[in-house]
């Protein structure tokens, strides 16, 4: 149940307004978007990455805001108050960072244990495997992340990987009210650096890997890395689980004394879980493990070496949280592939189609390497790069596709305001033989060509959009689902 707290008590950790007559105003609904303010809402006016919410204070007041908490500035310094049209405005320093704490006081948590997963790739798969596995051992669990928020079989769409601080806290509170005992959250670098999860207490924090992404926001890889590491040194994280097969993770292990290391290779580090043997087949992965929780063997219906790593991380998390190892081994075969993450589509006498969200150089490289372990024929890849995003990764992905795939088709992937032909040229700049690569801007047409010109033993990787069912163009958003294309086109040919 949402709490109502008076304005003075809400702000008492940051500023004292108890002497004012209006300080007893009841606060029960915080709102960042002035367009969504209703009578009785308390408007939060922060300085965002793209928008200054303080510009909309008058609009929020006209819509019925009962109070405004605004980001302080040189003109309106910390602790300053004013009353505008009978509505109090309080100015607070570092409001964006404090927002998580404010939301926590309105939407408290009591019995929902939280697990944070950060890293460039693998967050969605790891969080959903954790939630699935908890459910399989009769513990009600939910997720917050890229493919949606909620319980695994009833995910509600999410705008961002990590929502704003109010959305995150409110959603977690609602999930607890619905019976969630555990929630696994994808925590993005944006979410960490902007303080969106600052007040949350994590039972476990997980690091999957780090590779080039979001440099349009962070500027450098060093800044990007520090944003990820802040989960462990600037947030409440009781237990760290680190993938040390990633070089950044291996380095971080030296800074985190009580961390548990996870690896697909034998380790002598005492606090570790590692794979003794991993076997891949068209049916999935079998993995023998050993380490601080003893040995065992699991079988899962997932594809690829990085999914072996993801499964091992998820299993280690549940073991650290006290789940019985025998239960995990017994239920592992029931784990389902995550939507749009190395998702397999098949039809008789046709090439296999894999739909995956890989949209970074590292993710594309890992996906292609993984499929080589499963492929008996030619390996195709269909991919593009997003517009208005990190331009530097485009030639890198072109080089990787040319080196690892037998056939390459470059297509569109959310070109946004950019000219798709120029995005293709950026990709081709990293290739030694760009003339040998097919370009087809329509994703469905690209997949249709690959299916019609492939052999049954071939594999076609449709990379970049995964679970997404839309394409962002310069002037509109259109329907576009690789998963639906795969089902339709394989069915048409069959």
**Measured distance between the N- and C-terminal CA atoms of the chain, rounded to whole angstroms:** 53
pLDDT at 491: 87
Q: Distance (Å, rounded) from C-alpha 494 to C-alpha 351?
A: 11
Q: Distance (Å, rounded) from C-alpha 437 to C-alpha 398?
A: 10
Q: Distance (Å, rounded) from C-alpha 146 to C-alpha 363?
A: 16
Bind-site residues for ATP: 119-125
Query: CB under 8 Å to 226, separation ≥6 — which residues?
Result: none
Bind-site residues for meso-2,6-diaminopimelate: 389, 413-416, 464, 468
**The two structure tokens encoding residue 425:** 């040229």
For each of the chain's 494 residues, which pLDDT tens digit applies? 567 999 999 999 999 999 999 999 999 999 999 999 999 999 999 988 788 999 999 999 999 999 999 999 999 999 999 999 999 999 999 998 899 999 999 999 999 999 999 998 889 999 999 999 999 999 999 999 988 999 998 988 877 767 899 999 999 999 999 999 999 999 988 889 888 999 999 999 999 999 866 566 657 888 888 989 999 999 999 999 999 999 999 999 999 989 999 999 999 999 999 999 999 887 789 999 999 999 999 999 998 888 999 999 999 999 999 999 999 999 999 999 888 988 989 999 999 999 999 999 988 998 999 888 776 799 999 999 999 998 999 999 999 999 999 999 999 999 999 999 999 999 999 999 999 999 999 999 999 999 999 999 999 999 999 999 999 999 999 999 999 999 999 985 43
- Beta strands per DSSP E along 301-406: 343-345, 352-356, 379-383
pLDDT at 129: 97
pTM greater than 0.85 (yes/no): no
Comparing CA positions, the residue from 426, 418, 415 lying closest to residue 472 is 415
pLDDT at 2: 65
Range 343-493 has CATH code 3.90.190.20:
yes
Comparing CA positions, the residue from 116, 119, 113, 115 lying closest to residue 252 is 119
Number of neighbouring beta carbons within 10 Å of residue 17: 18
Question: What are residue 253's phi and psi, to 5 degrees?
Answer: -55, -30
Comparing CA positions, the residue from 402, 486, 491, 477 lying closest to residue 450 is 486
Query: CB under 8 Å to 336, separation ≥6 — which residues?
Result: 132, 301
CATH topology of domain 107-334: 3.40.1190
Query: CB under 8 Å to 421, separation ≥6 — which residues?
Result: none
Q: Distance (Å, rounded) from C-alpha 352 to C-alpha 51?
A: 45
CB 260 within 8 A of CB 249: no
pLDDT at 393: 94
CA distances from 332 to 106, 125, 312 (A): 38, 14, 11
Comparing CA positions, the residue from 150, 147, 106 lying closest to residue 131 is 150
Q: What angle do CA 449, 454, 460 make, to 5 degrees?
A: 80
Task: Name residue 45's beta-bridge partners.
Answer: 70
Q: What is the CATH number of domain 5-100?
A: 3.40.1390.10
Q: Does an H or E element contain 89, and which?
A: strand 87-92
CA distances from 403 to 360, 398, 436, 443 (A): 16, 9, 13, 22
Q: In 3-state terms, what secondary structure has residue 34? A: helix
pLDDT at 92: 97
pLDDT at 494: 37
Bind-site residues: 32, 34, 119-125, 160-162, 188, 194, 196, 389, 413-416, 464, 468
- Beta strands per DSSP E along 5-66: 5-6, 26-27, 30-31, 42-45
Q: In 3-state terms, what secondary structure has residue 174? A: helix
Domain boundaries of the chain, sorted by first residue = 5-100, 107-334, 343-493
**The two structure tokens encoding residue 181:** 């005992």
Interhelix angle 305-320/361-372, rounded to 10 degrees, is: 100
pLDDT at 232: 95
């Amino acid at each position: 149940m949402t709490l109502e707290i008076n304005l003075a008590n809400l702000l008492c950790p940051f500023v004292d307004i108890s002497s004012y007559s209006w300080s007893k105003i009841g606060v029960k609904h915080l709102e960042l978007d002035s367009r969504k303010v209703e009578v009785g809402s308390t408007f939060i006016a922060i300085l965002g990455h793209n928008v200054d919410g303080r510009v909309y204070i008058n609009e929020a007041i006209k819509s019925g805001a009962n109070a405004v908490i605004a980001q302080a500035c040189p003109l309106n310094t910390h602790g300053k108050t004013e009353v505008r049209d009978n509505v109090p405005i309080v100015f607070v320093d570092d409001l964006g960072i404090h927002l998580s704490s404010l939301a926590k006081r309105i939407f408290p948590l009591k019995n929902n244990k939280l697990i944070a997963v950060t890293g460039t790739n693998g967050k969605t798969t790891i969080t959903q495997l954790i939630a699935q596995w908890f459910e399989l051992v009769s513990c009600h669990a939910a997720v917050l992340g890229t493919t949606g928020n909620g319980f695994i079989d009833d995910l509600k769409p999410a705008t961002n990987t990590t929502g704003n601080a109010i959305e995150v806290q409110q959603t977690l509170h609602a999930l607890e009210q619905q019976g969630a005992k555990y929630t696994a959250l994808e925590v993005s670098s944006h979410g960490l650096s902007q303080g969106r999860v600052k007040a949350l207490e994590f039972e476990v924090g997980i690091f999957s890997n780090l590779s080039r992404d979001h440099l349009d926001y962070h500027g450098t890889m060093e800044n990007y890395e520090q944003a990820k590491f802040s989960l462990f040194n600037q947030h409440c994280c009781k237990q760290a689980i680190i993938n040390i097969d990633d070089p950044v993770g291996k380095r971080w292990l030296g800074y985190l004394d009580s961390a548990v290391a996870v690896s697909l290779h034998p380790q002598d580090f005492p606090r570790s879980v590692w794979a003794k043997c991993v076997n891949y087949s068209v049916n999935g992965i079998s993995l023998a493990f050993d380490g601080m929780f003893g040995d065992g063997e699991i079988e899962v219906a997932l594809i690829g070496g990085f999914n072996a790593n993801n499964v091992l991380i998820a299993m280690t998390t549940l073991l650290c949280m006290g789940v019985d190892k025998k239960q995990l081994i017994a239920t592992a075969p029931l784990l389902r592939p995550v939507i749009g993450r190395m998702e397999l589509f098949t039809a008789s006498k046709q090439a296999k189609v894999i739909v995956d969200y890989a949209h970074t150089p590292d993710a594309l490289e890992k996906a292609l390497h993984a499929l080589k372990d499963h492929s008996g024929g030619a390996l195709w890849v269909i991919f593009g790069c997003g517009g208005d995003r990190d331009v530097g990764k485009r030639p890198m992905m072109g080089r990787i596709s040319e080196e690892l795939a037998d056939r390459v088709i470059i297509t569109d992937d959310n070109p946004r305001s950019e000219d798709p032909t120029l995005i293709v040229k950026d990709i081709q700049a990293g290739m030694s033989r760009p003339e040998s690569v097919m370009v087809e801007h329509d994703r469905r047409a690209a997949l249709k060509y690959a299916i019609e010109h492939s052999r049954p033993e071939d594999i076609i990787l449709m990379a970049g959009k995964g679970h997404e069912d839309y394409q962002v163009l310069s002037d509109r958003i259109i329907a576009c689902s690789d998963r639906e294309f795969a089902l339709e086109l394989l069915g048409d040919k069959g």
